[in-house]
Structure 1
């Protein structure tokens, strides 16, 4: 019983210090299902890049991305390439044509646009657009906006089994008979795939998986491949992570922060504030080691002398 009290005393006071000393972990890295959530993304407030705040959510081990146009399942995050692959359940594929404007398309808030945009290799195939659609204004005096993107386009898409029950109207040299039932184009041509605004009934989306070669639309990669950019925060984040911190942001100011455990920095965990806190921690650690030595001495070497008691008092005073 005599031995248990000092051990309990040490565990109550030294373990929090040990936990403090291991604060150079990454509290922002997390997992949802089989996907790793890391910078610039996050599912915890204050983590990641401010341009991606309130973007990803983990729901029943499924990563969901929410923007103006709707919610999408995140199938993959490629941190090396800087891209995500999104799935819209109402998007048409080679096996199914979905009309009735049920698809989300893709449209982001203006403040997110610099950070998030479909890849140049992504082709959007707009289906069942009316002749009054903004896509076709100015015809027949100018060229149809529809074209292939990275080798993907409507001419190939028409060969999908989903079109077997439809006799699609294809693009012709004359606009008089109305627009084609499928118009493929890159995202940059419209800046926003909004089915209501474009007056289209549905859409499909596929992206190139170069250098892989596929033998037709049945083997295309269907989904929305989105490139992301952190817009100039790479230097701060690299400095932060190199010093053991985690990249995050100030929730109120939406400005970059380096999270260093119990304190935050605007540069790195080697900043003056961090060094000051580290010095204070080392002083406290030294004091508690001294107290531990006195306790061990008392247990195994006899009762402490008055000199030892005075030293213990000084250690306690310094540690407070």
Structure 2
């Protein structure tokens, strides 16, 4: 309150002189895109949010899009409590439709983003129409395939979807002999990236568990890519910043943490920075009076 009063006393003088600490940032970094709230660690403005998520989200005609090296995905949901996003790839197969021809984006994240952004452990990727030359099956002849269920989700149930009605899928057993199955399910951490060209696959589907809810078959699975995000860095800095009314951001030149406090920034929090700002305003006022 004292800081607010002090700033108010000098506001008229502040309006008459250039602000040497104004950085052009808005007073808050929280924004909206359609019906989704975009808040820390994400942002739509440069310098806002956590630097590990910079240039990641874009709002296009009220549709929130996430862009990584493998392509662009529509963001269906952001769960800040669970720290996850749900993404939609328009070329991803579902229970009602198979999309083949290698058109799906898959999911490949840039190496420097890997500590911040990865599919959740209960997200299953079902790779479709992979050739025997695929890296998935190298070294496996006569041995067990790498395919397996993830959190109760897998190909055996997925074969029962209406999308397979026009195809008689090859359902090889757990041992790789005559050829790979038409569907191979596995968790993301097994392959680290879903690159359809590199894996020599025709398509893919992705679903994630709705635990503790139980669904009665693949027709009710949650299709999409559920991604877990993680904030690497000084979380205590951000908590202190927000506790004093600031918005967490970073210096776009030096990549240092910044607390955005209206038209000026602080390297600690808005209480500390406000005192500094008010002192500098007071000095500016005195200089103005002496002229």
Q: TM-score, normalised by structure 1?
A: 0.80
Q: Residue 136 of structure 1: SS of its match in structure 2?
A: coil
Name the residue aligned to 2:276: 276
| 1:260 positional shift | 1.7
Structure-2 residue corresponding to 1:170: 171
Larger radius of gyration: 1
1:1-320 matched pairs, under 5 angstroms: 13=12, 26-271=27-272, 273-281=273-281, 317=289
Q: What root-mean-square deviation, in Å, do the aligned CA atoms of Structure 1 and Structure 2 show?
A: 2.5
- Report SS of the residue matched to 1:66: strand
* Structure 1 position 174, deviation (Å): 4.0
Inter-CA distance 281–172: structure 2 relative to 1 (3 Å threshold): same
Aligned match of 1:297: none
Partner of 2:76, secondary structure, is strand
Provide the rounded CA distance (Å) in 2 between the counterparts of 1:71 and 1:199: 21
Q: Is the 8 A contact 2:137 2:145 kept in 1?
A: yes
Q: 1:315–1:26: structure 2 CA closer, same or farther, 3 Å change rule?
A: closer
Greater RCO between the two (CA within 8 Å, min separation 6)? Answer: 2
CA distance in 1, matches of 2:287, 2:139: 84
TM-score calculated relative to the size of structure 2:
0.88
Q: Distance in 1 between matches of 2:80 and 2:235?
A: 13
The answer for unaligned runs of 5 or more in structure 1 is: 1-11, 288-313
Separation (CA, whole Å) in 2 of partners of 1:205 and 1:315: 64
Instruction: Please give the secondary structure, in 1, of the residue aligned with 2:153.
Output: coil
Partner secondary structure for residue 100 of structure 1: coil
> Deviation digits for residues 196-228 of structure 1, max 9, x if unmatched?
000000000000011111000000000000000
Distance 1:174 1:276 in 2: 69
Bigger shift: residues 87-96 or 253-262: 253-262
Moved over 2 A (4+): 12-17, 173-176, 278-284
Relative to structure 1, the CA distance from residue 283 to residue 87 in structure 2 (aligned partners, 3 Å threshold; closer, same or farther) is: same
Instruction: For 1:210 and 1:163, locate their aligned partners in 2 and report how far apart those are by CA, in whole Å.
Output: 26
Give the gaps of 5 or more residues in structure 2.
1-10, 20-25
Which structure shows the higher helix fraction?
1
